[in-house]
Chain A
Amino acid sequence: MSVDEKKKKKVIKIDVDKCNGCRACEAICSAFHAEPKYSNINPEKSRIRVFFDPIRDVYVPVYASEYTGAECSGRGEFTIDEKTYDECCFCGASCPARDLFKDPDCGLPLKCDMCLDDPPQEEPLCVKWCLSDALTYEETDDDEEKEEPKDEMETGLKSLIEKYGFKKVMEILAEKEKTAKGKGAKEE
């Protein structure tokens, strides 16, 4: 990462009125973050999800934000067009209260990384694939002190430790290491 980039504040702006509900953002996000890149597609693994309720004409793209170990102690409710929606519908946290923003295969939390890539993408791919401009991208100079971004593995491990305890995770890792050695480390 260059010095210049560090100073940028990256913002994806969401205009819910412009969303046509196609979910192309989900499609390309999940493909981009597949390993290897673009090798599979699964909106459930996307770090952006469109919350939709077509009959009430509600379409809200929501980004995956921080992992949290505990759910909220109390929740707000939104009433839109006479229907009440739980606050969770519009929340980006990967949290124990629900399946949203967790990898459906391994349960690890997902978080938007603005399509971190080498070389960098011009803009996050959800923005690139949103031709109706419901999602737009802006980079502004940022003077605020920034926390170093944690990598995915670190966040994943942290969430496992919070859920099962440090000891249990270490035990399983040790077990895995043994098995891997036993099989001539053929297994990943």
Chain B
Amino acid sequence: MRYAETGYNLEIDLSTGNIEKVATDPQDTELYLGGLGTNAKILWDRVGPEVEPFSEKNILIFSAGLLCGTPATGCNRTIVSSISPQTLLMGYSMMGGFFAPELKYAGYDKIIFRGKSPKLVYLWIHNDKVELRDASHLAGKGAVQTDTIIKEELEQPKAHVASIGLAGENRVHYASIEQGRSSASRLGLGAVMGDKKLKAIAVRGTKSIEIARPAEFVELCDEVMEYIKFREENPIKGVPPILAGLGSPQEMKLHDEKWHTENFTWGNARVRRKEFWNEEIEKQWSTTMDGVQTRLLSCYNCPMKCGASINVPGISTYMMKCYSKLTYTMAAFSDLDFGFKIVQKATEYGVDGFTCPQVIAFAIECYEDGVLTDKDMPEFPSDSEGRFYYLLEKIVHREGIGDILANGTHWAAEAIGNGAHKYAHNNIKKHEQLPLKLGMLHPLYFLMYCTGEKLNITQIEGNFPQAAFATQEEKEEFVKDWHQVPDEKFKQWVLDWNLRGDNSIPYYPTPQMSSEIVDWQERMHFIDDSLGTCAGLSSFPLKPAYHMHNYPKFISAGAGFDMDENKLTQAARRNRTLVRAINIRRGMRRKDEVPPEDHWKKRFPELEKDLLDTYYAFRGWNEDGVPTKEYLHEIGLDYVAEDFIARGILKEKGSKPITDESKGS
């Protein structure tokens, strides 16, 4: 009997149409937990570094996390993994919603696609009945539209559908996979789906998921629920409203956008408008919000309301998740009304709400500075909003300049030449980052930006405060009920951390402390992504409901194998290292671990070197960022060490890498 998981994966060869139900090894669950962890194991085993993203040999995995479909609150994430066409590294993007639990109830933990279908198809899973169906009538259809059509033609209103729009079909490098009120947006996994000619997956399941120790498990769930209620009633003091509660940023609930509009940059991630927010704008934006929002929405089995139904008069309804409300608005120097309208189109086309507006803003800036001309953009409108609609169409159709822009700012700049790379200034490892430009280097954020394997700051930051508290009273107030800390020393570091003067950034927290804080934060994310818990209840907010002390109990009571804090830490580190190993094998090294040059005005090259050296050493990596043979042995990844040695990435003896520029990305 398997608990919490089903013990079966679906293996689908799209080239031949072969479908198999394959039993999985329970030992893999104990080692890698599930979700991201077991996805990484499969990618490591099956996809060599020579495999291109758009190749029959690339695989695309849709996985539920280990606790998805159990009564554990907020465990509903689908972890999609493949090789990203944008970064050429491992891409793992995730979505909430209802897909993962439904997949579990249908009897599967993962769907693994390989090959390419000769024609456009969709997959229909109804418990034991699994079939590939013709999707030629869905070609060019919007992602939301596709969802509706499929449910109607199958006569299955309770099915859940993950689909791509035109952007995915046309292999736009930042195409998303949309699913109801959620999407797996980052790193272009929708393009991989499109390359495989897979328009959608529909799933309906009516089977049970078993719990190993039921009474104990439900008691843990009740505790989490009680704590969520407590946190709703007791927001954290001394931090902006956006950081005070649980959930992903409560963008659909909050009307106060001072924090984002004044701290994040506008246009092509350059202009900070420090005096932007005022009463008049608040009033106007609140009216817009109230006018289009019909309901706040939750994901499966979660009381947080991070999404909303959006109904703009004259255009069809869609569901929005947190921050896309502002990304187009701010990239276009426009207002919220424009944001809500264009996101409807962007959702149907299926593009990443972070990257797409930045690509468009990048093109507009290139045009204004003469790097791109009227020849590249015939009949280019003069107003910002018009330009956004114009370029969005060009991109998703891959028409004219859109064909170049569809590859993201890094690759577009390379193709445009003429100094365009200066405009692609907000990338890490070829991937567009949050539009943030700040003053003083922040040691924690420096490390997280450089080394975060997800390439996305929101997927690595979280449990530790972003900034020091202003007064001693605030510090003491904050640490007094901070039971989530894995070690008491973190409290002391908050107490000692000052906004200015001694013990302030960039030198405090010290490189050693910074390494340990980053380790805690990313450990939480890697656990969430393997269990399928939403970061909004765990790794993302301050003082979350799930933490290092209750997680082991959830796993033991739910999945039925022994787990404690040490073992869980090891599993998280193992998964973190395995994802890195895949990227290392694909050529990623220290030279790639740099933040955007203009991310902070004040930079400290020596300190930055010290930070990376310290973190690498703390992690068990050599000075080039490659996990050492000794460390790989310690966390049970000897097979990775053997592969590294065979490929000359590590030497047989010692940990020094073989320096070879040609191995670089």
Q: Which residues of B contact A115 (CB under 8 A)?
A: none
A132 in the interface (beta carbon within 8 A) = yes
A27 adjacent to B71 (CB under 8 Å): yes
B381 in the interface (beta carbon within 8 A) = no
A57 adjacent to B157 (CB under 8 Å): no
Q: Which residues of A contact B301 (CB under 8 A)?
A: 22-24, 27
Query: Could you give, for residues 206-218 of chain B, a 1 whenever the CB lies within 8 Å of some chain A CB and a 0 otherwise?
Result: 1111110011011
Measuring CB to CB, which residues of chain B are less than 8 angstroms from any residue of chain A?
Answer: 69-71, 73, 98, 105, 144, 148, 157, 180-181, 205-211, 214-215, 217-218, 225, 228-229, 232, 294-303, 305, 309, 311, 316-317, 319
B302 adjacent to A41 (CB under 8 Å): no
Q: Distance in Å from the Cβ of B296 to the closest Cβ of chain A?
A: 6
Residue contacts A-B, CB under 8 angstroms, 19 given: A20-B305, A22-B300, A23-B300, A31-B214, A38-B211, A38-B217, A40-B208, A40-B211, A42-B206, A43-B105, A44-B205, A44-B206, A52-B157, A54-B180, A54-B181, A54-B309, A104-B206, A104-B207, A131-B229
How long is the Cα–Cα vector from A38 to B558 in the complex, in angstroms? 11
Q: Which residues of B contact A27 (CB under 8 A)?
A: 71, 300-301
A41 adjacent to B209 (CB under 8 Å): yes
How long is the Cα–Cα vector from A71 to B296 in the complex, in angstroms? 36
A54 adjacent to B69 (CB under 8 Å): no
B214 adjacent to A56 (CB under 8 Å): no
Q: Distance in Å from the Cβ of A180 to the closest Cβ of chain B?
A: 23
B69 adjacent to A41 (CB under 8 Å): yes
How long is the Cα–Cα vector from A41 to B207 in the complex, in angstroms? 9
B298 adjacent to A21 (CB under 8 Å): yes
Q: Which residues of A contact B207 (CB under 8 A)?
A: 42, 44, 104
How long is the Cα–Cα vector from A36 to B206 in the complex, in angstroms? 19
Q: Is the interface of B mostly helix, strand, loop or mixed?
A: loop
B297 adjacent to A39 (CB under 8 Å): no
How long is the Cα–Cα vector from A54 to B317 in the complex, in angstroms? 9
B214 adjacent to A44 (CB under 8 Å): no
How long is the Cα–Cα vector from A158 to B210 in the complex, in angstroms? 29
How long is the Cα–Cα vector from A22 to B305 in the complex, in angstroms? 9
How long is the Cα–Cα vector from A52 to B98 in the complex, in angstroms? 12
Q: Given contacts A42-B105, A54-B319, is CB(A20)–CB(B295) below 8 Å?
A: yes
Question: Which 8 interchain pairs have the tightest Cβ spacing?
Answer: A38-B214, A22-B298, A131-B303, A42-B208, A44-B206, A40-B208, A20-B298, A104-B206
Q: Which residues of B contact A183 (CB under 8 A)?
A: none
Other-chain residue from B205, B208, B294, B305 in contact with A57 (beta carbon distance below 8 A): B294
Q: Which residues of A contact B215 (CB under 8 A)?
A: 37-38
Q: Distance in Å from the Cβ of B5 to the closest Cβ of chain A?
A: 13
Given A24-B303, A38-B211, A59-B295, 9 more pairs with CB closer than 8 A? A20-B295, A31-B218, A34-B214, A39-B214, A41-B71, A43-B105, A44-B205, A44-B206, A44-B207
Q: Which residues of B contact A28 (CB under 8 A)?
A: 71
Q: Which residues of B contact A45 (CB under 8 A)?
A: 208
Other-chain residue from A21, A23, A39, A53 in contact with B210 (beta carbon distance below 8 A): A39
